[in-house]
Amino acid sequence: MISLLLSLIVIAAVIQVFLSSRQMYRVQTAKAHIQENGRYAMHVLTDELLNVGYQGCGSFQIADNEVNNTLNTPNNYLWNFTVPLQGAEATGPNLWTPTLDTSITNPVAGSDVITVRTINQPEIRVTQHPGGTPPGSAAIMVPSGNLLERFDIVMVTDCESAAIFQITSANPSTSGTLTHNTGVGTPGNATKALGKNYTGGWISRILTTSFYIRNNPDGIPALYMKQGGNAVQELVSGVESLQLEYGTDTDGDGSADTYLSANAVGNWSQVVSISIDLVMVSEEDNLTVDGPQDYLLDGNTITPADRRLRSVFSKTITLRNRVP
């Protein structure tokens, strides 16, 4: 009887050690995933945000509001290049300010959204742009074999000025002639007058990219990217929240004077830096032994409703195309 009791005690101890080891393994694995995914998510975001305001050789010389957007709907989400950076602050349950474009689908409540517009490589040389009336109305010549196609939305710049238009005729394999007439395509051009001759300049597609948080098919919050007219794409799982503040330069010295949420930014061209907070969360629940794990976000202590592990990744970046 005594030997049986001792055996049961030993077995119970072995089971306890096994369960403790298993729980420790789950916790360590979850921590490793959080660290790996958090570093990658921050890398993806910062790499894209550093391109804010990139207009090729004219990045510093051309102000955002000086770009001549000749499209019929210049303020459309996809090609509103006069606003190369725009955020949306989560201001309430399923509410964002400014209002989100309808292409930003199923965003997680309480998490911010950020949109970046930039030129898309490659940059192609303008070999000829004959004079015309009105100025800039003639077809643009580029080397044949280029990647530009009919109905692409593009930006042309000569480092001093820039214009956005839709290509209405192109044959990249045999000809470098790009026309930009009115009455063709969607959205189409409101005018074919680009305002000046761009011979010797550069032309590129433009690209609009938004980052936000939504739940993936497994119900796990993830960082998603909406790029151009393409379908949304999951980038990194386990990203529960994206919180952003924008450093605005109000006196023109190139340094941020104050950090504001998106709904408080009055002039997006004054934003010279961005403060990023990513809340990473484990995919597994019941990993914390003593109840929910509190975490600190923007000076506030947050107590979640579950027992998942969380970690906050923070970084502030300077927008290199906004600070000479």
| Pairing of β 162-166 and β 153-157 | antiparallel
Select, from the ranges 29-38, 170-179, 213-222, the one with the highest average predicted confidence (pLDDT): 213-222
- DSSP reduced 3-state for 242: strand
Lowest mean pLDDT among 9-18, 49-58, 133-142, 270-279: 9-18
Query: Which pLDDT band, with edges at 50, 70 and 90, does 11 fall under?
Result: low
- Which residue did the predictor score with more confidence, 145 or 189? 189
What CA–CA distance (Å, rounded) separates 128 from 197?
9
Overall residue count recorded for the chain in this entry: 324
Mean pLDDT of the chain: 88
pLDDT above 90 for 233: yes
pLDDT above 60 for 10: no
pLDDT above 90 for 220: yes
pLDDT above 50 for 18: no
pLDDT tens per residue, range 99-120: 999 999 999 999 999 999 998 8
pLDDT at 272: 94
What CA–CA distance (Å, rounded) separates 266 from 257?
14
pLDDT tens per residue, range 264-295: 999 999 999 999 999 999 888 777 777 888 88
Q: Which of 27, 33, 34 is nearest to 279 (CA)?
A: 34
